[in-house]
Structure 1
Amino acid sequence: MADGKSNLSFILNKVHDVTFSERPVPDVATPHDVLVAVNYTGICGSDVHYYDHGAIGHFVVKDPMVLGHESAGTVVKVGSAVTTLKAGDRVALEPGYPCRHCEPCLSGHYNLCPEMRFAATPPYDGTLTGFWAAPNDFCYKLPDNVSLQEGALIEPLAVAVHITKQARIQPGQSVVVMGAGPVGLLCAAVARAYGASKVVSVDIVQSKLDFAKGFGSTHTYMSKRVSAEENARSLKEECGLPDGADAVIDASGAEPSIQTSLHVVRVGGTYVQGGMGKPDITFPIMALCIKEVTARGSFRYGSGDYKLAIELVASGKVDVKKLITTVVPFDQAEEAFKKVKEGQVIKILIAGPNEKVE
């Protein structure tokens, strides 16, 4: 971490209205909290959606809100009860904190906690700031061979880990992933790490498919402007899946992709909805029924997902470095958002205000 005590923050006031402002450095509020200097933060599609629309569903930006939630940083202070971390440790930040007391939390599904405090989700501030205070058990120490820049990508990788867990993938199975954005690419890579023998990435942009082929996918398919059933037939034929795929993951949220997915999955196969799109869509319910497809939703990440994500990076099974298009200084945060919105990058990292960019 570069020298400095700035808690400069990147704040969304309203749609397309952002400012930089110094905020008070947070304190270690409980004996179990730590204070982290944020080194790098990635930009998620949800961040861009708030920047563009000021809301996601019923989460509406009503007051100025710090953006960002894909971060890694360096511990600078620990609470009196913290024994697992110390000042100087490099950590990936899990940016959502549950109540720990409700039925979902107690049953091991804390990602479904109704009282979740999630960074950069109104009314809670995010991590595009100098310092971030957090419960110590939601800060994951990075192994020596995992960089802080890679650490910032643990968050989207944990999303992909959770989605892929929901798909119940077994070694030797075939997997189709709809969408070759960052999460879709990571789902494909995790599926390979789980032992899937055939992983097909699907998109409408050839450059994304070219990248997917060199990242985690064994096959790619360019979606055509035809019906969902025709697309499914073509995909299965081109990719050698005569009976369909064992598991299909939608990481796009796009209605045509979701429709195609239900025609691609095999009889008795598994379908997972990971991408978020329109609240309501036309869905091929007959295909779901007559094939006895197991359908699951996936939301953020849960117990063990961050630890597995870090292990996948540390072991070299998922090379998240390949996703990083560029790193920009903190004062270029708005330009970085515009680049993501325009589709110019796969992943762009914003260095913290106390971090120098060479």
Structure 2
Amino acid sequence: MSAEQRVAVLREPEHMTVETRPVPTPGPGDVQVAVRAVSVCGSDVHYYDHGRIGGFVMHGPLVLGHETSGVVSAVGEGVETPAVGTRVAVEPQRNCGRCDQCVQGRYHLCPWISFFATPPVDGSFAQYVTVPAGRAHPVPDALSDDAAAMIEPLAVAVHAAGKADIGPGTRVFVSGGGPVGLLCLQVARARGAARVTLSDPVARRREVALRFGADAVVDPGAGDTEIEPADVVLECTGVQAAVDLAIAATAPAATVVLVGTGAQVTLPLDVVQGRELVVKGTFRYAHVYPAAIAMAASGAVRLDEMVTSHHDLDGAVDALLAARRDPDAIKAVVRPG
């Protein structure tokens, strides 16, 4: 009889149960990870509320969670590293390795990619998961289990900052003070940005942004329009009003990176053309986990300070709703073990 584990399963929107399932066995080239921490992402909340994000739709039960850390508990055939007992941050994606995108190094754009907690692929609100050995990244003792789980959203910010080529002297405008916006703020600062301004309509988020290193904050609802023009804009909301403000905040020849996921938005073509703006999209990340781990381990990015609550597997719904219930919440963490 195979070993069993407890798993939190979203049966349908707003209905989650804790069930028993077999512990997954690592196949060739894979490792099994005993999950220690899973930080909650806005996408998890969206699936819980609506059962879909854009074209990604639940057609059956789904295990949420993709921001994951743990310890390697078994290895599949052919795996030498990471060894059993290694603490890891899980990069929650598996690509084909053969298509044009994979061959050119853009494995996150693989048309056959499977990603944790994206239907129909189950995520990590579970005691054990399996991933390719190369997607289980060893972390140093300097990183807590919570921080190691948050390497995943930090990777989003590192990828976005790389797209924008932020460096010493860059003036940066971050649109949105949620977890990804706060991480983009910290990454911009770590890369030597001369000035970082963050915009968010929630006063508490603006206060937190100042604590994490913002030089200035903007309340878009108060009509704050005196914004120093930015060389780089990181738009982290996907909301039309925020996109409009972000474009307005650009200096000539600025780069605008669209990080936040939303519905269809429009861009003012006259401004984009008149200022010769460069507009870039981002989708997840690739090749950035080692840099994200090093950045967090050095203390340049403060991940533990973003964690505002802990929950066990039976409290997964409370974790998903934490930000809605508590205005001070930033990141909730589920500890399946």
Q: TM-score, normalised by structure 1?
A: 0.91
For residue 282 of structure 1, report the CA deviation from its aligned partner. 3.0
Q: How many residues align?
A: 334
Write the mapping of 1:262-341 to structure 2, written as runs, cut at 5 A: 262-278=247-263, 280-303=264-287, 305-341=288-324
1:35 aligns with 2:32: yes
For residue 150 of structure 1, report the CA deviation from its aligned partner. 0.8
1:13 counterpart (11, 14, 25):
11
Query: 1:157 — aligned with what?
Result: 154
Amino acid at match of 2:182: L
Q: Could you tell me how far apart the structure 2 residues matched to 1:64 and 1:145 are?
A: 37
1:235 aligns with 2:226: yes
For residue 79 of structure 1, report the CA deviation from its aligned partner. 2.0
Give the share of equivalent positions with the same residue, in percent: 38
Q: Could you tell me how far apart the structure 2 residues matched to 1:218 and 1:107 are?
A: 38
Q: Could you tell me how far apart the structure 2 residues matched to 1:64 and 1:288 are?
A: 43
Q: Deviations over 1:22-45 (max 9, x none)?
A: 111001111x11110000101101
Q: Could you tell me how far apart the structure 2 residues matched to 1:341 and 1:64 are?
A: 24
For residue 350 of structure 1, report the CA deviation from its aligned partner. 0.6
For residue 235 of structure 1, report the CA deviation from its aligned partner. 3.5
Query: 1:208 — aligned with what?
Result: 205
Query: 1:133 — aligned with what?
Result: 130
Amino acid at match of 1:317: A
Q: Could you tell me how far apart the structure 1 residues matched to 2:39 and 2:295 are?
A: 19
Amino acid at match of 2:280: R
SS at match of 1:164: helix
Amino acid at match of 2:276: E
For residue 85 of structure 1, report the CA deviation from its aligned partner. 1.1
Q: Could you tell me how far apart the structure 2 residues matched to 1:163 and 1:99 are?
A: 24
Q: Deviations over 1:3-60 (max 9, x none)?
A: xx75111111111111110111001111x11110000101101010000001111111
Q: Could you tell me how far apart the structure 1 residues matched to 2:89 and 2:319 are?
A: 21
For residue 343 of structure 1, report the CA deviation from its aligned partner. 5.2
Query: 2:334 — aligned with what?
Result: 350
Q: Deviations over 1:261-285 (max 9, x none)?
A: 111111011100000111x223211
Q: Could you tell me how far apart the structure 1 residues matched to 2:162 and 2:4 are?
A: 39
Query: 1:199 — aligned with what?
Result: 196
Write the mapping of 1:37-186 to structure 2, written as runs, cut at 5 A: 37-186=34-183
C-alpha contact 1:198 1:218 (8 A) present in aligned 2: yes
Q: Could you tell me how far apart the structure 1 residues matched to 2:226 and 2:79 are?
A: 52
Amino acid at match of 1:335: D
Runs of 4+ in structure 1 deviating by more than 3 angstroms, as ranges, are 341-344
Amino acid at match of 1:82: V
Amino acid at match of 1:195: G
C-alpha contact 1:6 1:130 (8 A) present in aligned 2: no
Amino acid at match of 1:34: V
C-alpha contact 2:6 2:20 (8 A) present in aligned 1: yes
Q: Could you tell me how far apart the structure 2 residues matched to 1:72 and 1:50 are?
A: 21
SS at match of 2:245: helix
Q: TM-score, normalised by structure 2?
A: 0.96
Q: Could you tell me how far apart the structure 1 residues matched to 2:179 and 2:213 are?
A: 12
For residue 225 of structure 1, report the CA deviation from its aligned partner. 5.4
C-alpha contact 1:11 1:21 (8 A) present in aligned 2: yes
SS at match of 1:65: coil
Q: Deviations over 1:54-87 (max 9, x none)?
A: 1111111111111110110011111232222111
Amino acid at match of 1:306: Y
C-alpha contact 2:238 2:265 (8 A) present in aligned 1: no
Write the mapping of 1:215-254 to structure 2, written as runs, cut at 5 A: 215-224=212-221, 226=223, 231=224, 234-236=225-227, 241=228, 244-254=229-239
Q: Could you tell me how far apart the structure 2 residues matched to 1:140 and 1:282 are?
A: 38
SS at match of 2:155: helix
